[in-house]
Amino acid sequence: MIRLLAAFLFAALPAGLIAQVATFDSSAEGWTNVTLLWPDPGNPPTELGPGLVQHFASGGNPGGYLQVTDPDGSQPTGHVQYWKAPATWLGDKSSLYGGVLRWDAKMFTSLVSFPHDDILLTGNGTKIAFFANLTPGSAWITIAAPLTVGSWRVGNRNGPLATQSQILSVLSSLQSIYLRAEFQNNLDTFGIDNAAFVPPASTSPFGSGCGGGALPAPVLSVVTPPLLGGNYSLQCTTALASGVGIVIHGLTKFDPGIDLTGLGLTGCSLHATLDVLIAEPIVGGVMPHTFAIPNDPTWSDLRIYSQCIVFAPVNPFGAILSGAIDARVGS
């Protein structure tokens, strides 16, 4: 059932609700590959030249991906290849603090690896670096950098820890994003897929519920937040000891809600579109509900609006409703 629910929500996903993500399924989406000066490209980073980017429609994680072969790997002294984000990824990204910058990486050669800065961000005259200490191999792996204190250093991976104010300063006027492409010495070949800014997950209540007779309005609450690759769990609590209810999930929010008095639901309001309705049992006054969020960056920033219905013979329609939850899928 939870897979079916996820499929319904994904099929209905409006493009405007998708966060910044590049899946490379049909093109490079404006991403390029550049050579940065080794061992330290400076601030702003010195770009020595472009790499020849190839797009492949299959073989990614999944779908399409980009691939480059090191242009200076056969030279006595090589520099380091990075994927460079397009201008559409830049600007004020301060709202992403607390989220994650991630991408999938793969090597198509088996050579000696070396440590280096995995991400470089510049903005407001400051350069910050992230080092994951991971080495991609012949299978796709995800490299994820939390956009929080403790993960970033000023200048390069050996510099002082960046403060919250420094990270926010960079994010508020982001001028460049470089994701490491090259992890091996000599003539290596490397790929990228699923680059994404994932915002922090959040939930907040809105709207009001409605009771009837001696039954107060049921209460919908969050048990676990909607994290990519995790379970989004809700709990509807009611004074009714047993019975059946419905959890509504919608992609459009009604606030104020739509008055349902004309349907026999006196004083009740609908706060979300009826995109997905799932019946759940009530046991001991509690109706739990869980569904899996795919570890798919295209779900990043998806807003899900949820409400629960409890069936009880207290009005002409025979039901009472909770208030609603506004959830944002994230990290």
Same domain flag for 211 and 151: no
Final residue in a domain of this structure, among 198, 232, 249? 198
Residue 155 to residue 117: CA distance in whole angstroms: 10
Same domain flag for 33 and 93: yes
Same domain flag for 232 and 175: no
Final residue in a domain of this structure, among 198, 231, 256? 198
Same domain flag for 46 and 153: yes
Residues recorded for the chain: 331
Pair 37, 127: CB distance under 8 Å: no
Please state the domain count of the chain. 2
Mean pLDDT of 189-202: 95
pTM value is 0.84
Q: Percent of the chain, pLDDT > 70? A: 92
pLDDT score at 192: 97
Pair 40, 75: CB distance under 8 Å: no
Final residue in a domain of this structure, among 198, 229, 246? 198
Same domain flag for 61 and 170: yes
pLDDT at 5 over 60: no
Residues 77-94: pLDDT tens digits?
668 999 999 999 999 999
Q: Percent of the chain, pLDDT > 90? A: 83
Look at residue 294 and give its three-state secondary structure: coil
Same domain flag for 184 and 57: yes
**Higher per-residue confidence, 184 vs 246:** 246
Same domain flag for 216 and 182: no
The CATH number given to whatever domain includes residue 300 is 2.60.40.10
Residue 105 to residue 199: CA distance in whole angstroms: 21
The CATH number given to whatever domain includes residue 76 is 2.60.120.260
Mean pLDDT of 199-226: 96
pLDDT score at 156: 96
Same domain flag for 272 and 188: no
What backbone phi and psi angles, to 5 degrees, belong to 17?
Answer: -100, 0
Amino acid present at 286: V
Residue 101's DSSP bridge partners are 145, 197
pLDDT score at 279: 96
Same domain flag for 255 and 208: yes
Amino acid present at 18: I
Mean pLDDT of 281-286: 97
pLDDT at 13 over 70: no
pLDDT at 41 over 70: yes
**Higher per-residue confidence, 10 vs 295:** 295
Count helices and strands (H / E) in the chain.
2, 23
Domain that holds residue 220: 2-13+201-328
Same domain flag for 94 and 136: yes
Residues 227-279: pLDDT tens digits?
999 999 999 999 999 999 999 999 999 999 999 999 999 999 999 999 999 99
What's the chain's average pLDDT? 91
Same domain flag for 233 and 163: no
Residue 126 to residue 180: CA distance in whole angstroms: 19
Same domain flag for 113 and 258: no
pLDDT at 23 over 90: yes
pLDDT score at 72: 73
pLDDT at 290 over 50: yes
The region, left, alpha or beta by phi > 0 then psi within -120 to 50, assigned to residue 263 is: alpha
pLDDT band at 16 (very low <50, low <70, confident <90, very high): very low
pLDDT score at 325: 98
pLDDT score at 77: 63
Q: How many angstroms separate the Cα of 132 from the Cα of each of 43, 64, 147, 208, 274?
A: 21, 24, 13, 45, 42
pLDDT score at 75: 61
pLDDT score at 287: 97
Residues 129-176: pLDDT tens digits?
999 999 899 999 999 999 999 999 999 999 999 999 999 999 999 999
pLDDT score at 130: 98
pLDDT band at 318 (very low <50, low <70, confident <90, very high): very high
